[in-house]
Structure 1
Amino acid sequence: HVTEHFLTGLTYIRQNFPCLLTAKKHGAMSIDGFQMYLVSPEGAVLDPQLLALHQDMSQPLSHYFICSSHNTYLMDDQLRGQSSQEAYVQALKRGCRCVEVDCWDGPNGEPVVYHGHTFTSKILFRDVITTLAEYAFKVSEFPVILSLENHCSIEQQKVMAQLLDTILGDTLLRAPLDRLVPQELPSPQDLKGKVLLKAKKIGGLEESETLTDEIPDEVSDEDEAEPKSPSAENLSADALRLNDKKSKFSRELSDLVVYCKSVHFHGFEYSHLHSKCYEMSSFSESKARKLAKDTGAEFVRHNSRQLSRVYPSGMRTDSSNYNPQELWNVGCQIVALNFQTAGLEMDLNDGLFSQNGCCGYVLKPDFMRNDDSFDPERPQDRNGYTSLRLSIQVISGQQLPKVNQKEGSIVDPLVRVEIYGVFQDQAKQETSYIDNNGFNPLWNETFHFIVHVPELALVRFVVEDYDKASRNDFMGQFTVPFTCIQPGYRHIHLLSKDGTAIPLSSLFVNIKISELTTEV
């Protein structure tokens, strides 16, 4: 019926306004103009107004999701992959605002960057920082966090500090804004054009310069993620410091750490009582997922005032990724992924950060930024809760890409619509497949979803080539934040596996969003 309505409308336009001049004279749109509108940004599923920078950028850093990379220097796997400055260039061009550098002692007093105790190639720390200086703010003017995993000796730490100082120059943040000890983190707006160093720090911003150069040992994210004592919740800050193993740390490097001081996580109660806003912890994906499942509401409150970084399991030697949605659901800001590995997880990451000018910062929902109790396991308990009905009619496809480029090859396409968000919102439905037609397949199938937390939901459209004997082949996808969807008849311009556009390839859909009525 939808196709018939459109054909009827097009026929009317063609019969009554056969040329552009006649259409203009009658204040109408020509058939060519109408077709151009349908495939223009105004006719796309992603609202073009929300593509531009439009969010409030004056709130504390902890109030934003931040596009983040893990082991940014790697182009491939974690065991034998190539390390390259080009990996930083590619990540920064994709809007990444938190990059990671693993530093080790190198020859001739020069620190090197690589995945320690593996066969990955090595690059100079100097070259990484030079690349960062050149590309950090080409795509986004908002701050870059340099997450430092430091394995270097005191001598080479001093070299690192010198290189950071001389190469980054005024872009490196060296002291609190206005020289004041913060009660809350500054905003992305306040920190435009600045590089923030995330690392261990001797003392805190409130401390005097008379401290000894000893801090709790920091060698890796894995150490940082776990408390040193099973009873850490019940220990005082002084007792925890004494309980930790001590190691020497360069004062010169320490002094460059301002708003991103790495600390061990000792529990939400301890953090609430003792932690400063500029202290942040890193969590392995397994630790973070357990906290999210067991104490989700507490995790949300913790992340309203402090930064949290999550990184992939050390077992992911193939540079695979975990699902970032589970950690965004509890407000974790720095959910680091292996950018070099395409797939669902990077599709979600690209989808979330496609909004707000692709600047790498997305403002969290208001119920995750204040003291209201939000539990992702029980979204209906929050103030102002309203669920929505999402109806998507998958009408047709246009010039879908071939999976096999051999002459005469034909695809059997199907479309799957997937919802990612809080647990209650996870859902997927798919169309039937169309035999031997990738040029203009017609489905006319409608799906209905209930979305409980639209502010956190992502909608992913996936096109696959059906194969009854083996796994379906990926053809294209597009992921959009639920809050950025334009209802109505829309074209979805498909992306390839690595996130680049597939020319002329699209889906045509009709989308309706409405409040859920009591009888549903």
Structure 2
Amino acid sequence: MAATAGFASNGPVPWTLSDTEVNNLYRDLELGTVLTLFYSKKSQRPERRTFQVKLETRQIIWTRGTDKIEGEIDIREIKEIRMGQKSRDFERYVEDSTARPEQAHCFVILYGTEFRLKALSLAATSDEEMAMWVKGLTWLVSDTLRSPTPLQIERWLRKQFYAVDRSREDRISCKDLKCMLCQVNYRVPNMRFLREKLPDGELRNGDVSYSHFAQLYRSLMFDAQKSVSQTFICVCFLTYLFSKENTIWDAQLDQVRPEDMNNPLSHYWISSSHNTYLTGDQFSSESSLEAYARCLRMGCRCIELDCWDGPDGMPVIYHGHTLTTKIKFSDVLHTIKEHAFVTSDYPIILSIEDHCSIVQQRNMATFFKKVFGEMLLTKAVDISADGLPSPNQLKRKILIKHKKLAEGSAYEEVSSSTPYSENDISNSIKNGILYLEDPINHEWYPHFFVLTSNKIYYSEETSSNQGNEDEEEHREVRNNCSFHMDQHVTEKWFHGKLGAGRDGRQIAERLLSEYCLETGAPDGSFLVRESETFVGDYTLSFWRSGRVQHCRIHSRQEAGSPKFYLTDNLVFDTLFALITHYQQVPLRCNEFEMKLTEPVPQTNAHESKEWYHASLSRSQAENMLMRVPRDGAFLVRKRTEVNSFAISFRAEGKIKHCRVQQEGQTVVLGTSEFDSLVDLISYYEKHPLYRKMKLRYPINEETLEKIGTAEPDYGSLYEGRNPGFYVEANQMPTFKCTVRAMYEYKAQRDDELSFSKNTIIQNVDKQEGGWWKGDYGGKKQLWFPANYVEEISPTAVEPDRSATENSPLGDLLRGMCVCVRSSSLIHTHQHIAVPYTHTHTHTHTHTHTHTHTLYLLSLTEIGTERACFRDMSSFPETKAEKYVNRIKGKKFLQYNRLQLSRIYPRGQRLDSSNYDPLPMWLCGSQLVALNFQTADKPMQMNQALFMLNGRSGYVLQPSIMRDDTFDPFDRHSLRAVEPITLCIEVLGARHLPKHGRGIVCPLIEIEVCGAEYDNAKQRTDSEADNGLNPTWPRKPFRFTVCNPSFAFLRFVVYEIDMFNDQNFLAQATFPINCLKTGYRSVPLKNSYSEDLELASLLVHMDIVRGRRMGDTSSISSVSSMSPLPSSPAQALGYRGREGSFEARYQSPVEDFRVSQEALLDQENRRYAWFKDVKFTFL
């Protein structure tokens, strides 16, 4: 039987394989071959490794020796396989004949789950071997992605098991099993829980086989989720419900609809990228050819080329006047040609931002023709046409979007159309990395600086060597050399001088005995301590057959360097290398042979740390931290309760505390477990503990004398605290909240707030009667209608745009200094005055441009003779926002029916964040350009939209948008659109990803995104300590959607952390018109919209269209309860706040109650059948 796979390095698989050929390929890949691995770091020479495919887990592994696995990648993560030397890893060996491989023997595997992919650059020994790997992996990727869910679960189980069973003995310890379950987000309360779940035979052996592990997994999944419904009694059926085969997404939409591709281009949304060449931020990240390849393969159809004069008469591409790296214009064109039509055959639009001289512009034009040839569109498809051509007419064509010359000109001298602005980073005098001294620890940290004529702006702390691989690599080499000899000091198995050099042997025996007996640790559990008898030597103490044994680690000097050994015939350069060796190779003596297994942690190592205080009260800790006005200052103190500690720290200007519990040999913070308090603090020095705050400045009396202020900062005490207040998991009290405006509101009285859509209102006091109080725009505690806003997490509050728009650093602004001339700064002034004079003059000189396509047409000219479908406009988001509103939105939509418009992020988004694309799409803008490298909600919405039409990059706008009566901001203009009501129940989830070290406490947020009158959001309760198989009580969430043709349903999984903050875990976003009803699986994706392995929700979905089942009143009731976007103030404003407090609210509250009761009555009758019908398949 023959078959054709759907994945290849450059499109559909160009061959057909018989079963025999497939089996032969699998056998060869499983046996493996020796390949040469090329590294990205210049300091690493190419090395030969044995590469194999593990078919059981669908992984590629490579090993140095027979047992040691050096690396592995999941085949499901492979995005592309290239033949030849098509990665940067090969470039550095072009001049090195000894390391340069044959071009025909090389291939590259690109893989990952983020925008920026990783590369595995390999060279085979022959053409045949290379062809075998490329063909075999291409087939395997396709087969892996097509595999049914039960087979994927089997592979996942084996992958988890083998990750622990490194010895390949098909057995793991009960303690390893407990750790493994924690790693997959399942809390095991104690070892007795596992003993009750495992067969008696397994317990007697002390080990667990794979078959019993798989059996345990299935029982855990079924036991937890059988409560979803008593009718779900079959494990296989439950697996099916959560599987991709039962997805909520309508798979028919995975195909392109050719009949929908005959409209003019202006009738489509077109997937568009901004600054396509960047892999990160806008000021110091790497420009990369791979970014172009990635965007094109993601279905992007409009990409940007930012061209500047380069050497040898050809431009370079980068973000001008910044630290971003440069790539060659010619290389970019070749990359575009190679990847343009792999994912979609529909046209590519190149948006050229041209800063080049006339000479280099002419060279660009020549090179466009040379590289693209017939693919380049150079003449009109139909001269007599009165509209733009269709995607079908432009198949496999490349279009260029560029400014146009004035008629009759060979070139044009154009004065800058944009006034000189110091707020644009490209107009700065100087920008780059400068160092600021930290006033606390007096160390110097790099910041990105921008110098203008009278100010210096600087960002948050950044990396000093972004974009400079050589410097980064040299720094890494230096760091490695400095700590290599002392690497053992940070290992948990190293205990230093136990008992301060006295009774070390007895203390070691006690530590090992207590640890092994309490945790069931296996033979080979060990610790290393400094020898009490021999200076410079060490002692290895380990557990074997129920008792502790010791052996001496000898040391000696050779050529001025220490060497370490147990026996003279095997000597190591470091103590760390010796221990690592015996963790892989058995210790051998006459009586036994055994590997070192588990390190025994240091239980009291924290007592000698500078941050630890054995007798410090809460108030004393606060007094100390009040004198260190710096986020990241912290200390750890012992509490009066047994086995309890507290971390006191400063974050966001406030002092906070969190409790740490000692549970046996484990230290627990929230749901995160650590081997010791030292490990915990070390972890949070590298990872955020609270929002973005890491533990940074350990505080004690000595450091307080050096860096403490004389006056305590009393305002830093946590607002609203009580004497017993601690920040606990899921118990953080909520004081005044923060809200975001969903609609514009104009104040009707002096004591009310006025605000526009998306305004952030802070310090909100929730009053009764539908009106709240809050602070905005310098006004304190004024009234506003509660149903005009939505409550948001403090972490979701964006910086005030008014504070950052006037800065070239935008939201990255940390601070600013005003430059003042004085005699003491004369030399500095002279230094910066020269470049300023040059820059100021440069911005007012005339520039030659040689360009091709007219840009801008005023909205006032729509419908006049000047309007021409060949013209188009580009807007920054700030200008577009002036058009996408109730006043101008309809006019902008009319403009977009005839012509193309491109919208791009404002220049101050240096962090490459994205704006909300929904209002722009709703007003018909076709080219809504986003930063594809950024994993945020706008890009997730973009990915959801362009899932439609076979991911071709072109989506036909709904026909209502071509109706002259349609107003995108007025729901009453939807005369021909049938509204729908969604009823969604979230029943359970599986295989949710982890966030940090702890077991997650997930909740699901369900959101409808679309026209502003349809936006709504609801959420489940959080499920405590279970990310593997949580369930939720049946509770219907109902949404009425007036414009379903432009609406998205979005599921977001959040974890509630110990500070009651929500952290993103996963998401799934779909156009509402593409959903199936019944009991359905919702496959979850990460923030980059890449599939998460086996992660899914189980939901019940019902969609009621129009006014069925006597639903007229309920639909009208929904409308009456929501604020009308056309004039919302009239419904809830002046009338509702006249007279006394009671009278002020009584009328609207009573109206709301009556409407709500009518709606609930209709909805309850409609969904009464839920009690009888347990599941439905459509």
Q: TM-score category by the smaller chain?
A: 0.7 to 0.9
Aligned to 1:186: 389
Q: Note if contact 2:242-2:1097 (Cα within 8 Å) is conserved in structure 1.
A: no
Q: Cα distance 1:329–1:146, how it changes in 2: closer, same or farther (>3 A)?
A: same
Matched, 1:350 2:943: yes
Q: Note the alpha carbon deviations across 1:47-74, whole angstroms, 9 max, x for none.
A: 0011221260111000000000000011
- Which of 335, 359, 364 aligns to 1:131? It is 335
Q: Cα distance 1:47–1:270, how it changes in 2: closer, same or farther (>3 A)?
A: closer
CA distance in 2, matches of 1:42, 1:215: 61
Q: Note the alpha carbon deviations across 1:57-95, whole angstroms, 9 max, x for none.
A: 111000000000000011111111111111111111111
CA distance in 2, matches of 1:421, 1:124: 40
Q: Cα distance 1:271–1:152, how it changes in 2: closer, same or farther (>3 A)?
A: farther
* Residue 217 (structure 1) shift: 6.1
* Residue 459 (structure 1) shift: 1.1
Matched, 1:378 2:970: yes
Aligned to 2:273: 69
Q: Cα distance 1:310–1:222, how it changes in 2: closer, same or farther (>3 A)?
A: farther
CA distance in 2, matches of 1:321, 1:441: 33
* Residue 216 (structure 1) shift: 5.8
Q: Note if contact 1:150-1:220 (Cα within 8 Å) is conserved in structure 2.
A: no
- Which of 1006, 1012, 1020 aligns to 1:417? It is 1006
Sequence identity of aligned pairs in percent? 42
Aligned to 1:20: none
CA distance in 1, matches of 2:893, 2:933: 29
Q: Cα distance 1:72–1:463, how it changes in 2: closer, same or farther (>3 A)?
A: same
Aligned to 1:500: 1090
CA distance in 2, matches of 1:299, 1:439: 48
Q: Cα distance 1:134–1:217, how it changes in 2: closer, same or farther (>3 A)?
A: farther
- Which of 279, 287, 299 aligns to 2:892? It is 299
Q: SS of the residue aligned with 2:1100?
A: strand
Q: Note the alpha carbon deviations across 1:410-459, whole angstroms, 9 max, x for none.
A: 11000001111011011111100001111211112321111111111111
Q: SS of the residue aligned with 2:388?
A: coil
Matched, 1:49 2:252: yes
Letter in 2 for 1:341: T
Aligned to 1:112: 316
Pairwise CA RMSD = 2.4
- Which of 336, 339, 344 aligns to 2:932? It is 339
- Which of 163, 168, 172 aligns to 2:367? It is 163
Aligned to 2:449: none
* Residue 519 (structure 1) shift: 2.0
CA distance in 2, matches of 1:215, 1:382: 48
Aligned to 2:858: 266
CA distance in 1, matches of 2:378, 2:238: 54
Letter in 2 for 1:415: I
Matched, 1:309 2:902: yes
CA distance in 1, matches of 2:916, 2:297: 22
Q: Note if contact 1:41-1:48 (Cα within 8 Å) is conserved in structure 2.
A: no
- Which of 920, 924, 927 aligns to 1:327? It is 920
Q: SS of the residue aligned with 1:321?
A: coil
Q: SS of the residue aligned with 1:290?
A: coil
- Which of 867, 879, 883 aligns to 1:275? It is 867
| TM-score, length-scaled by structure 1 | 0.84
Letter in 2 for 1:380: H
Q: Note if contact 1:100-1:147 (Cα within 8 Å) is conserved in structure 2.
A: yes
CA distance in 1, matches of 2:418, 2:983: 46
Aligned to 1:518: 1112
CA distance in 1, matches of 2:370, 2:1066: 44
Q: Note the alpha carbon deviations across 1:222-242, whole angstroms, 9 max, x for none.
A: 99xxxxxxxxxxxxxxxxxxx
Matched, 1:174 2:378: yes
Q: Note if contact 1:214-1:246 (Cα within 8 Å) is conserved in structure 2.
A: no
- Which of 137, 143, 147 aligns to 2:351? It is 147
CA distance in 1, matches of 2:323, 2:387: 42
Letter in 1 for 2:1113: E
- Which of 446, 452, 465 aligns to 2:1042? It is 452
Q: Cα distance 1:37–1:297, how it changes in 2: closer, same or farther (>3 A)?
A: same
Matched, 1:198 2:401: yes
Letter in 2 for 1:124: K
Q: Cα distance 1:69–1:391, how it changes in 2: closer, same or farther (>3 A)?
A: same
- Which of 1017, 1020, 1024 aligns to 1:428? It is 1017
Matched, 1:91 2:685: no
CA distance in 2, matches of 1:457, 1:341: 23
CA distance in 2, matches of 1:414, 1:134: 43
Letter in 2 for 1:340: Q
Name the count of aligned residue pairs: 460
- Which of 205, 213, 216 aligns to 2:411? It is 213
- Which of 1071, 1078, 1091 aligns to 1:488? It is 1078
CA distance in 2, matches of 1:509, 1:381: 33
Q: Cα distance 1:287–1:193, how it changes in 2: closer, same or farther (>3 A)?
A: same
Q: SS of the residue aligned with 2:857?
A: coil
| TM-score, length-scaled by structure 2 | 0.38
Unaligned runs of 5+ in 1: 15-30, 224-244, 255-260
Q: Cα distance 1:445–1:10, how it changes in 2: closer, same or farther (>3 A)?
A: closer
CA distance in 2, matches of 1:42, 1:372: 42
Q: SS of the residue aligned with 1:442?
A: coil
Letter in 1 for 2:1054: E
Q: SS of the residue aligned with 1:509?
A: strand
* Residue 383 (structure 1) shift: 3.1
Letter in 2 for 1:136: A
Aligned to 2:1030: 441
Aligned to 1:366: 959
Q: SS of the residue aligned with 1:89?
A: helix
Q: Note the alpha carbon deviations across 1:154-187, whole angstroms, 9 max, x for none.
A: 0000111011110111111010114x14310001
Query: Greater shift after overlay, 347-356 or 194-203?
Result: 194-203
Q: Cα distance 1:331–1:154, how it changes in 2: closer, same or farther (>3 A)?
A: same
Q: Note if contact 2:247-2:1081 (Cα within 8 Å) is conserved in structure 1.
A: yes
Q: Note if contact 2:1002-2:1056 (Cα within 8 Å) is conserved in structure 1.
A: yes
Q: SS of the residue aligned with 2:1051?
A: strand
Q: Note if contact 1:460-1:480 (Cα within 8 Å) is conserved in structure 2.
A: yes
Q: Note if contact 1:297-1:374 (Cα within 8 Å) is conserved in structure 2.
A: yes
Aligned to 2:983: 391
Q: Note the alpha carbon deviations across 1:174-222, whole angstroms, 9 max, x for none.
A: 10114x143100011110101100001235xxx7xx5543386688999
CA distance in 2, matches of 1:222, 1:344: 33
Q: Note if contact 2:900-2:926 (Cα within 8 Å) is conserved in structure 1.
A: yes
CA distance in 1, matches of 2:263, 2:393: 9
Q: Note the alpha carbon deviations across 1:293-339, whole angstroms, 9 max, x for none.
A: 13111111111111110000111011110011111111111000011
Q: Note the alpha carbon deviations across 1:122-142, whole angstroms, 9 max, x for none.
A: 111111111111101100100
CA distance in 2, matches of 1:134, 1:274: 39
CA distance in 1, matches of 2:854, 2:908: 23
Aligned to 1:17: none
Q: Cα distance 1:246–1:83, how it changes in 2: closer, same or farther (>3 A)?
A: same
Q: Cα distance 1:157–1:271, how it changes in 2: closer, same or farther (>3 A)?
A: farther
Query: Greater shift after overlay, 295-304 or 40-49?
Result: 40-49
- Which of 1055, 1061, 1070 aligns to 1:465? It is 1055
Q: Note if contact 1:142-1:191 (Cα within 8 Å) is conserved in structure 2.
A: yes
Flag the structure with larger Rg: 2
